[in-house]
Structure 1
Amino acid sequence: MTSQRQVIEVESDKPRRFVFVLMEQFTLLSFSAAVESLRIANRMANKTLYEWEVVGEGGTTIVCSANIEFKLDGDLPELRRDDTMVLCSGIGVQQATTRKLLNWIRREARKGLMVGGLCTAAYPMACAGILDGKRATIHWENQDSFAEEFDQVSLTKSVFVIDGNRMTTAGGTSSVDLMLKLIANHHGEELANAVADQLIYSSIRTDQDTQRLSVPTRIGVRHPKLSQVIQMMEANIEEPISPSILAREVGMSTRQLERLFRRYLNRSPKRYYMELRLSKARNLLMQTDMSVINVALACGFASPSHFSKCYRAHYDTTPYRERGSHATRLSI
């Protein structure tokens, strides 16, 4: 990297302070991408536009999901109204969301400061009640369970969302997109673009971009009618649509639809739909306290016995055993 970098002229008063709150098993990429964006903004402006500290419950050390230990700057602090709190979480966010943390979030949020959540951290924000009536996003793996638990939050599939003084991201590199947006808001597009160039980040996403790959990219098949049918399936898990209606919606016969799925996905439409529903069911079993009966209903199964039979045939275990083994793994 050349030392003769361009310095972006920006006006600034005192530096903006970010307080990153690391939760157990937080996602390293989401956190580091956010901090690096702020660091590079300082470097490109040749002045301290941003300051940050890294805190967490207990104030000593914390371990991320990559099993790397981090030394914290301190315990959960008293914040100023002009601070920005950024919660960083990852896998096992439910277990990492403690009563102490929730009480602290509520207390500090009452000051009116900006609160953000990276990756799965919309969960503690919602638990604390500070996302009620707000738009938000969360990592796609957690979308189903979040939607079931927090119907007072307007959940989107965007890579990031800023709604008033609340910010959420979908995880991974979406932290970069959020920080670039904030840098542009604070100090202009030129600086944000310079930061993106330093990060070799050539495609800056907005809050209008969705977090998951398109259906054709995910399944490796570019067939418009097949993509359309799969999108309808994904949008109608709780009340499945029959193959005949799906076929009619895209102007095909049921037999043609069957051949299409067999040719490109090596399974019937009914089988593919069942796998989607069982995948959502597994997420709900792993990530929520919903009863097995309610999980079955949320995934379009009329009875627990039918759900259990289908689940066992696909995953070689019952829903009850799946939940029990997951709870055991978390306690180890």
Structure 2
Amino acid sequence: MIETVFRTEDLSVTDRVDAWREKLSQIHAPVDLACRPDSDFRAQQRVVQLGGALVWSSAWSPQTIRRTPRLIRHSDPEVVHLSLITRGAVGFRVGGPDALYGPYELRTNDSSRPFEILMGPQGEVVDAVSVDVPRARLPLSSDDLDRVIGHRMTGQEGVGALLAAFLTTLTDDTRSYTAADVPRLETIVVDLLAAVFANALDAMDCLPAESRRRTLTLRVQAFIRNHLHDPDLTPATIAAAHHISTSHLHRLFQDSGTTVAGLIRHLRLERAREQLADPARSDVPVHLVAVRSGFEHHAVFTRAFRSAYGMSPRDYRRCALLHEAGGDLATD
């Protein structure tokens, strides 16, 4: 996996604006940049390359970015951009009235149309997580893409929340991924981006069947994670929540190397393990950790935990907290 980091703080004051303009132009397409060319100007960016897709987190001082007809005539890589704003506000103008976007809204543009972006119009710093994908990579018609670009969308519910969670999780910590994960991660990015656009157009049926299947699987997995505490979380309740049959649900997991019940069990044990190792939760009784993780019966939880991790929950907590404190596990 290729990851690059850029900070204007690493450059002299006089070089910062030009270097930042060049970085933005490399990521999306050539742009003009207007900002304060002094020591107050700051920007940083961390880019993860996933095949043909780029995912990047950024923090921006107030500035204005323009993609003009002249720049489009000079160079158009035909790239679609989506930003999840996590802090601050962004003003935007593309072929219509001005719009203002706030935290957890999804803002889009593409390299083939003029636009103007006002980062932090009230003088605030803006944080965002973004993705850039070639138009040709998305399984939507050119007309559909033209209709959805600039459409106001949310990252707080539905498939938009799935995309937001994936982008933020990926950019928060890339250490658990390797180069072998890149094709799968790129596919997830493209599927979720296409699903967000299709959902905004009320045209999910226009997506390829395989893309719909992968997106549904991601929705099911997210639903399971959000409902682990519920002891009534079963294949039947999951299928009903997604308006599919239980047999359809089981088919979604046939190629994943696990079953629905197996995934629920694994995620519940992982949640319990994380809570047991957390010093801030050291006073929470083990049986309550089990209940909060979705286990109704303490004996069942203890057996499953010992089978998965080689020791009882109580012993695991003791060892984890001793290690956190810098103790010697071998002599304890």
Structure-1-length-normalised TM-score: 0.40
Structure-2-length-normalised TM-score: 0.40
